[in-house]
Amino acid sequence: MKPIVAIIGKPNVGKSTLFNRIVGKKVAITSEVAGTTRDRIYQSTKLDSLSIILVDTGGLQYGKKINIEGDVYAQTLLAIQEASLIVFLIDGSTSPTIEDEHVIRTILKAKKPYICIANKTDRRSHEAEIGEYYAMGIDTIHGVSAVHGTGVEEMKSVVEKKLRKIGFRKEKESKKNSKMISMAILGRPNVGKSSLVNSLIGQKKMIVSDIAGTTRDTVDTELMWENHQFLLKDTAGIRRKGKIGKEIEFWSILRGIKALEESDIAVLMMDASEGIVNQDAHIAGYIKDEKKGLIIVLNKTDKLTADEMDRVSSELERKLEFLPWAPVVNTSAIMGKNTGKILELAMQIHEERKKEINSNELKALLEEAVHRHAPPRTHGRTVKIYDIEYTRTNPPTFIITVSDPQLFHFSYKRYIERIIREKYGFVGTGIDIRFYEKNNNKRRKTHQERMSASKRSR
């Protein structure tokens, strides 16, 4: 399972900027206005050889919390509780405040491992301010500039070393339980996840309630169906009953991500009577990024008229247009309607993810695709495609050797994926297409490494 690394600190210390710098793209909204980050942001990324789930959080503020501040505070506390490692971010250009002291007390109270990172340390004049933080009981402080990227690579190495010391290792391809179909039942609270599991196993093993967030932890259930063994993971909703707010969805998603990491297929449940909401699309996007199998389940469709069902179907197609390969099942989990179809599809997707492909046939397909539609010119240059390999299954993974991966436009990547799917199917599963540079055995140096080498040569 991937470790969870949460960036924690008071408002406006640069948490979202550092988050974006680590993942290599602008995911979190950044602003000079304190407290911009409200909903939690999470992204799967890689440090060096270790993959992690990075979580951006809102600022921990000292004093009474009202309205949205209370939601942000509660979600941040949940992130601390779920984190494998905390990155305590401080503003290295200013002296510590009572809010910094409050944050470090909160982290220490949680008894979670942490590292302290001082942001905005562009100038040596800030060394005195950084020194004041040691009085709070911090042993080591690492300086970075999230805006300029200075020190971030070194910080990532520190994080990885800390995680390895805790006990996390590079994930290895595992063949255990290869015959078992592992399925994570995902979705917002109160969409019917537990009712679906109860329907599939034919007994009320899960607690089913109309109160959102009844399921407290991920519950594993084994099931034999049509001579196939399934492992169903009903995912969590909340720590305790009666506490309903935005933090519940964050808790549910974070627990769901952990279950997804251990599964091959995701069953994404949505409440058709509520329509398709943004949180549904966020979860679907994460499943796609993780290259998992996916079955979309529209639950409670028995409550809808024909016109309402058409509206929901259109909304689903529009908001999840990036998942044309994912099958959709309409159900009423509590009535047991059409739930067997989910297991049938899971068996099919399980086979799709293990599909073998003839190498010569695949190379011929790529040559034909390039001949029919050559890669577009980017920055006045044309990328050349040399070879394609099918390197592994579960998920199906393709390596394409090219002259320069940076010149590949995202639209051409989609074109290649469409050609592969038209030929080989892969219905219901994500596929991983990677572009490598030909004869590039050495890792390219980062801009910071090149600048450092230039300074040393002067």
Could you tell me the two tokens for 71? 């939601």
Confidence of residue 308 (pLDDT cuts 50, 70, 90): very high
Q: Which pLDDT value is given to residue 39? A: 46
CA–CA dist 45, 23 (Å, integer): 6
Residue 238 has a pLDDT of 28
Q: How far apart are CA 329 and CA 114, in angstroms?
A: 43
Report percent pLDDT > 70 for the chain. Answer: 78
Q: Can you give the CATH number for the domain in which 343 is found?
A: 3.40.50.300
Phi, psi torsion values for 436, nearest 5 degrees: -115, 150
pLDDT single digits (tens) 168-204: 887 654 444 567 899 999 888 788 888 898 888 885 5
Per the CB < 8 A criterion, the answer to whether 38 and 115 are in contact is no
Q: What is the pLDDT of residues 383-425, one digit of tens each?
A: 889 999 999 999 999 999 999 888 888 888 999 999 999 999 9
Whether residue 456 lies inside any domain: the answer is no
The whole domain housing 259 covers 181-353
Is residue 280 located within the same domain as residue 345?
A: yes
Strands across the sheet containing 293-299: 219-225, 228-234, 181-186, 265-271, 293-299, 328-330
**Do 20 and 161 belong to one domain?**
yes
Mark whether 123 and 34 lie in a shared domain: yes
Is there a domain that residue 453 lies in?
no
Is the pLDDT at 453 greater than 50? The verdict is: no
pLDDT for the residue 220: 75
Evaluate whether residue 171 is within a structural domain: no
pLDDT tens-digit readout, 69-113: 555 677 778 788 888 999 999 998 888 899 999 999 999 999 999
- Of 331, 353, 375, the last residue of a domain is 353
Q: How does the average pLDDT of the chain come out, rounded?
A: 81
Kindly report each contact of residues 103-108 with a partner whose C-beta sits within 8 Å and lies 24 or more positions away, as own/partner: 103/8, 103/9, 103/10, 103/60, 104/136, 104/137, 104/138, 106/8, 106/60, 106/77, 106/80, 107/8, 107/80, 108/137
The reply to whether 275 and 369 lie within a common domain is no
Residues 381 and 274 in one domain: no
Count the domains in the chain.
3
> Higher pLDDT residue, 191 or 1?
191
